[in-house]
Each structure stands twice: as structure tokens, then as C-alpha cells.
């Protein structure tokens, strides 16, 4: 029989006689379990020494470990440049399922009550090709919603409120991707400046939901109340057919750089958990002060155990991995697509069917790894983002200034078709998570309204945030009363979101873009927990019009499988669920080499067909025109196509009057910088 895994069952496991605690440390000389008085989390009621066993796992059992017990670790060990032992510090159990605050702002682990009645509700199991992701902040999404009771605004319960679910259902998204909801804290630097870490990329513990997003009733509701509220949110979203994806931050922790707040890993075994030189300097590939060392089995197991917990115990449907290139760095800190952790996540039997999305870069050497993750992973496609922004914004700005754009239609077409020049054939277009905006950067409305960032409110003299936004204010910086500019900006947003929702791949929509939310030009609003970042539900007519456009685009994507290929097509082959696309220029003729490469050629027609496997046969024609001039387009003649029925025209604010049936060979006058979508029958 194979030997038992010494890394199994780390953390607390309850037994009939109390509980057992198991902690890993290769370099500690002693570990002590401190159990606190049930009425005073600052008073140690019992001290229990742990014994070191196989695989550097320390353990102890005591009847005092029960549901609701608050506890901490005290760890001692040798001196040395890579160590940071202090037997007087109280440390968190890395596997703690619950956390509690003390009067002085410290933290204690506590034994969590995980009981919950799921009532037979199961995961929706939405196929990846049907997935439309809605990236949102758990607090910011509902904080200002007047349809919610005040006590539920900005909470997990508020996200699961019928009004919120009705909004998401009406919009048509299939998954909510929540910015980090693992328990996190603000960095010391921000606290001193009077700011906070609003986004949450500063994890304190990988097994507990962030308590501040729960209702006050849950926060003061005793053992497990916050977790039950979180599970209740998942349950109600699942009942509505909406999946829950978590943005998870395993690449670094809230302990920051050397000299930062030591709360757990650094005090338990700094030399093992964090990448560092022999002199004790951290090797930081995250830009956050520290980097967990995924060349070690214990950190790999930590991530797997956390993922299993959230996927099984909490029933979440997927994960988006922040700075995922860090998770694929081995002993030499170099990225390896076959890294044991990346493979183990895919192969884990408890994670089958879970959606896995990589942010495929970090700030270390060789940190940009787009297209290099294994089969089974999807990736944020920043090349898609940049090309769409350039095509609809910077190229048009350049053409206005100089008379011609820098690039033509070819590079846009590759992105529309699923970026097959980036992702391996066996991975297919669903490896690409397409986006034009995300939490990090300009909103869609700000992309078309500002030439430059406006981040003075972040306290860093406008140095933070990207300077390369590929944005364009269309002749004004920020708000303007010029109605012509405002109308052009609205159309630019429709074009950006139209390409996003009509491209092959998995679209991700940033919450608020569907109604033109602005952050007043701040492209790095991570430190603002205020109305700057919360979604406003007080909207003007043009915002309601934009919402209707986005809702329609999502519906059209759902109804037309030709927009959602599962596989890349092979030349000359008809593969089920593969992309089959024919490309035409503005004259309705098959695209030639000159059409692809010329920067003057900014008009494209592509006819995409689905091949039946899961759904009925379907064909669409998408026409894209990327210059501020009128153009006459001849609809292409294509075998089997008798008519083109207009489904959407980006040139209109109001979509209610869009209609029309046209014939192959018919000429159409197309407005400047616009898109048309037809069903081809």
C-alpha cells in the first residue's frame, strides 16, 4: 500500500474527544498551541506543545479544540538570515477555517462551524462556450442599490437579494466573478495614508471569507455565521442559474516584505514558505513584497487544499488566479507550463468541472506567459484587450490627426476569431478570456473620455497606474458639454463592448460598463472604498439605452452558436463546434493579402458558421468599419445564404427600431466607426 501523505489534514480536525491540530514547519524547534478563554481572546487558557512527526508535520490533540474555540500558534526556531522566529508572537494557523479579531486589532484562528443545508441545490454546470463573466466587487455591486434594505447593501446577502439576481438575469450574464473575498487586510502604507485596500489583493488567510462583506448580523452572529451567509449567497445564485467564480490571490500574502506584519507563514517557517536569497532578501515576482515558493510541496498542497475547500465545501464554480505565472515557478523561480501545481489543479478529481482562469503574468523574469498555460486552463488575453482598444480608439485618433491608421484589419480579425495565433490548436478559442476593461484600469466610459490617467487621489502624485491605456477622449479630456463628442464616445463604447460580446472566446464584462460607469479618470482605484468605485443605480437615459444594447448583445451571443465556437477550424475540414469563417472586404470579395496587411483597409466582413454538435446550425455575418468616414459595403454572396437579417447596428443609441432584410450583393451605406450584425439564412 502507498505510504500515507504526511501533508494530509493540516489544520484542525474535530474528533469525538475534542480536536487535533496539524501544522507544517521544516525549521521550527518548537510549536505551541495557545487556546484562548472563550470570553477573552487575549487571555490564554491553555498551552499545548506540538510534537514533530513525519514529513515535518507537528501535531497535538486536546479536548479544548471545539467549535468556536479561539486559538493561535507560538513558534520558535533558530536564528539566521532566512528565519524570522519569535516565540512571543501569536500566529494564525494557515489552515484556519475561521478568524476572529481581538480588541487590539490582532487576529485569532477559531474552529469553524461549517454546517449548512444546501437543500438539494447543485452547481449550474454552465458550459464554457455559453459563459459570460461579470467581474464585480462583492461590496461595490450593491452598496448604493436603493432596492435593497439598507442593512443588506454591500454584503454577500445583498448580492443574493432578489433585486440583484433579477438585474443579473435581465442582463444575461452567466457567472459573477468576485474580486478577492478571502479574508484580507490593508497594507500598512495605505493605513498610514488614511486609505484602504478596496480590491482585496492582500490575503490574510486562504480558507475564510472576508468578514466585512457580511451583514452586521452575521459578523456578530457567532461561529460560522459569515460562512453561512456566503454559502447562502452561492446557493441563491445557483438557484437562479448563475455561477460564482472567485478571484484568488495565492501568489503572495498580507505579510508584505521583510519587516512587515508577521501574522502566519513568516513566523512559522519563513525560509520555506517565501522565495528568498541565502542572505534573506525576498525574491519578489509579485510586486507586493513577498512571493510564496511554489517550488515546494507544502505550498502546492496549500493551494490545492484551499481550492478543494471552496469548490466542495462552499460550492463555488471556478477561480481566477491572480498573477498566475507565479504559481508556475519552480525551484529556480522560472515559469514552467508543466509545473506540478498547474498540472495538479487540472488533474485533481475534486476540481473536475471547475472553471480555471489564469492571469498569465507576474512581474518576475519571463513573467508574461500568455498562451503558455496547459490544456484545461483559460487565460486573460491582454493582447485582445490592447488590439480592441487600439482599433476603436488610438488608431482612429491617429487617422484623425494624420489621415491614416497605423494598422489595418488583419490583427483585429485574428482576435475576433479567438486568437488562434496565441493559443495552441488543442486548447481552442475558449482558452481566451476576452476583455476590454477589468477592475484594474479605466472603465469603458473612461477609456473613451480621457487621454491620460487622473490618479492624484491615490496619494502617489499620479505615479501609480498604467501610462499605456490606449485610451482617447475624442477631442476633450473628461466630461464635456459638446454633444457631438458625447455621441461619438457613446458609439465607441458600443463598438468596444460589441466586439467583446461577438468575438470567439469567453467574454468578461466589467461591472458597470453596461451602463457607462466612470471613475473620473482614475485607472487604479484600488484604494477607494467610496462612491468613486461603488456602482451607481441612479442612471440617465443614455445609460439605460446602453444597458439595453449590452443586454441585447448578450442575448444575441446566446442565440447564435456561430459566435461561440468551441474549437479552432482546420483548413478544409468541417469539425463539429469548430470556427468556420469566411472573410470578405467591403466590396464583398474574398479578402486578399493586400486587404489583410494594408493600414488603409479598415473595413471587414466575416461570415461565421456553426457546425452542429450540441446546437442547431447557425450562420452570422459581422461587418466592422473602423474609420471616421462613410463607406458603402456590398454584402457578400455565399453558398447557401439567401438573405441577411439585421440584428444589431452599433451606430444607434436606441436599438428598438433596428430591423431589415437584405440580399447578397446588395449595397449598404455604413456609418463611420460602426458595426453591423446579421443572421445569415
**What CA–CA distance (Å, rounded) separates 87 from 76?**
5
For every residue of 318-365, DSSP letters joined together read EEEETTGGGGGB-TTS-B-TT-HHHHHHHH-GGGTT-EEEE--B-SST
Helix H or strand E encompassing 248: strand 243-248
- CB-CB neighbours of 379 under 10 Å: 26
Enclosing H/E stretch for 674: strand 674-680
Decide if 675 contacts 499 (C-beta within 8 A): yes
Phi, psi of 397, deg, nearest 5: -60, -40
Q: Which of 84, 187, 359, 362 is catalytic?
A: 359
Map residue 445 onto helix, strand or coil.
Answer: helix
CA–CA gap between residue 393 and residue 405 (Å, rounded): 10
Cα distances (Å, whole numbers) of residue 59 to 31, 88, 269: 9, 20, 16
Measured distance CA(18)–CA(338) in Å, rounded: 41
Contact 156, 229 (CB under 8 A): yes
Cell 441563491 maps to which residue?
Answer: 236
Distance CA 231, CA 316 (A): 9
Pairing of β 631-634 and β 667-670: antiparallel
C-alpha cell at 82: 532566512
Residue 554, C-alpha cell as written in the block: 448578450
Respond yes or no: is residue 322 known to be catalytic: yes
DSSP state of 104: T
Contact 145, 163 (CB under 8 A): yes
Radius of gyration (Cα) for the chain, nearest Å?
A: 27
Helix (H) or strand (E) holding 670: strand 667-670
Cα gap 191→525, rounded to integer Å:
15
- Tell me if 187 sits within 8 A of 256, measured CB to CB: yes
Residue among 187, 256, 284, 322 flagged as catalytic: 322
CA nearest neighbour of 321 among 387, 379, 281: 379
What span, in angstroms and rounded, lies between the C-alpha atoms of 365 and 291? 13
Q: What span, in angstroms and rounded, lies between the C-alpha atoms of 75 and 27?
A: 10
In 3D space, the residue among 213, 238, 68 whose CA is nearest the CA of residue 154 turns out to be: 213
Residue 218 near residue 233 (C-beta atoms within 8 A): no
DSSP string of 14-80? EETTEEEEEEE-SS-SEEEEEEEETTEEEEEEEEEE-EE-GGGEEEEEETT--TT-EEEEEEE---S
Active-site residue set = 322, 359
Amino acid at each position: 500500500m502507498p505510504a500515507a501523505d504526511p501533508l494530509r489534514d493540516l489544520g484542525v480536525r474535530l474528533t469525538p474527544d475534542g480536536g487535533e491540530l496539524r501544522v507544517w514547519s521544516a525549521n521550527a524547534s518548537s510549536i505551541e498551541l495557545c487556546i484562548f478563554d472563550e470570553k477573552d481572546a487575549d487571555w490564554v487558557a491553555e498551552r499545548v506543545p506540538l510534537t514533530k512527526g513525519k514529513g515535518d508535520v507537528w501535531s497535538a490533540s486536546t479536548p479544548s479544540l471545539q467549535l468556536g474555540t479561539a486559538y493561535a500558534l507560538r513558534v520558535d526556531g533558530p536564528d539566521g538570515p532566512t528565519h524570522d522566529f519569535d516565540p512571543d508572537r501569536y500566529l494564525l494557523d494557515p489552515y484556519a477555517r475561521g478568524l476572529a479579531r481581538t480588541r487590539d486589532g490582532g487576529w485569532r484562528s477559531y474552529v469553524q462551524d461549517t454546517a449548512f443545508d444546501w437543500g438539494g441545490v447543485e452547481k449550474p454546470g454552465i458550459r464554457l462556450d455559453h459563459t459570460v463573466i461579470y467581474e464585480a466587487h462583492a461590496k461595490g455591486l450593491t452598496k448604493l442599490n436603493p432596492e435593497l434594505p439598507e442593512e443588506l447593501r454591500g454584503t454577500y446577502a445583498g448580492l443574493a437579494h432578489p433585486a440583484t439576481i433579477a438585474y443579473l438575469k435581465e442582463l444575461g450574464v452567466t457567472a459573477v466573478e468576485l474580486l478577492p473575498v478571502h479574508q484580507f487586510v490593508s497594507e500598512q502604507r495605505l493605513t498610514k495614508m488614511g486609505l484602504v485596500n478596496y480590491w482585496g489583493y492582500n490575503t490574510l488567510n486562504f480558507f475564510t471569507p472576508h468578514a466585512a462583506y457580511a451583514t452586521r448580523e452575521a459578523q456578530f452572529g457567532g461561529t460560522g455565521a459569515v460562512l453561512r451567509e456566503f454559502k447562502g449567497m452561492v446557493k441563491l445564485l445557483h438557484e437562479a442559474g448563475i455561477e460564482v467564480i472567485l478571484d484568488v490571490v495565492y501568489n503572495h500574502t498580507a505579510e508584505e516584505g521583510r519587516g512587515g506584519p508577521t501574522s502566519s507563514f513568516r513566523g512559522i517557517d519563513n525560509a520555506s514558505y517565501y522565495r528568498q536569497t541565502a542572505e534573506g532578501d525576498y525574491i519578489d515576482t509579485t510586486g507586493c513584497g513577498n512571493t510564496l515558493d511554489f517550488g515546494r510541496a507544502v505550498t502546492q498542497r496549500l493551494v490545492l487544499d484551499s481550492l478543494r475547500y471552496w469548490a466542495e465545501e462552499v460550492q463555488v464554480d471556478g477561480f481566477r488566479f491572480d498573477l498566475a505565472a507565479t504559481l508556475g515557478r519552480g525551484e529556480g523561480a522560472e515559469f514552467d507550463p508543466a509545473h506540478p501545481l498547474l498540472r495538479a489543479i487540472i488533474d485533481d478529481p475534486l476540481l473536475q468541472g471547475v472553471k480555471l482562469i489564469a492571469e498569465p503574468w507576474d512581474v518576475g523574469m519571463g513573467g508574461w506567459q500568455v498562451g503558455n498555460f496547459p490544456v484545461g486552463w483559460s487565460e486573460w488575453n491582454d493582447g485582445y484587450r490592447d488590439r480592441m482598444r487600439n482599433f476603436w480608439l488610438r488608431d482612429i485618433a491617429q487617422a484623425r490627426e494624420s489621415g491614416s491608421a497605423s494598422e489595418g484589419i488583419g490583427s483585429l480579425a485574428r482576435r475576433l476569431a479567438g486568437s488562434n495565433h496565441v493559443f495552441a490548436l488543442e486548447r481552442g478559442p475558449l482558452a481566451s478570456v476576452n476583455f476590454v476593461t477589468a477592475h484594474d484600469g479605466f472603465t469603458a466610459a473612461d477609456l473613451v473620455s480621457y487621454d491620460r490617467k487622473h490618479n492624484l487621489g491615490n496619494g502617489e502624485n499620479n505615479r501609480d497606474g498604467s501610462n499605456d491605456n490606449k485610451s482617447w477622449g475624442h477631442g476633450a479630456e473628461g466630461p464635456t458639454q459638446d454633444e457631438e463628442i458625447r455621441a461619438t464616445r457613446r458609439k465607441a463604447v458600443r463598438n468596444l463592448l460589441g466586439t467583446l460580446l461577438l468575438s470567439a472566446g469567453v467574454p468578461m464584462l466589467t461591472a458597470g460598463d453596461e451602463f457607462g460607469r466612470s471613475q473620473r479618470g482614475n485607472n487604479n482605484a484600488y484604494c477607494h472604498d467610496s462612491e468613486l468605485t461603488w456602482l451607481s443605480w441612479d442612471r440617465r437615459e443614455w445609460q439605460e439605452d446602453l444597458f439595453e444594447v449590452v443586454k441585447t448583445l448578450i442575448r444575441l451571443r446566446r442565440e447564435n452558436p456561430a459566435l461561440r465556437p468551441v474549437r479552432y477550424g482546420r483548413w478544409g475540414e468541417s469539425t463539429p463546434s469548430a470556427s468556420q469563417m469566411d472573410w470578405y472586404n467591403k466590396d464583398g470579395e474574398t479578402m486578399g493579402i493586400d486587404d489583410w496587411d494594408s493600414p488603409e483597409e479598415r473595413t471587414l466582413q466575416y461570415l461565421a458558421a456553426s457546425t452542429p454538435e450540441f446546437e442547431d446550425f447557425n450562420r452570422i455575418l459581422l461587418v466592422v468599419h473602423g474609420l471616421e468616414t462613410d463607406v458603402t459595403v456590398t454584402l457578400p454572396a455565399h453558398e447557401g445564404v439567401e438573405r441577411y437579417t439585421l440584428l444589431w447596428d452599433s451606430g444607434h443609441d436606441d436599438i428598438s427600431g433596428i430591423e431589415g432584410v437584405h440580399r447578397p450583393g446588395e449595397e449598404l451605406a455604413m456609418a463611420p466607426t460602426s458595426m453591423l450584425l446579421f443572421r445569415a439564412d
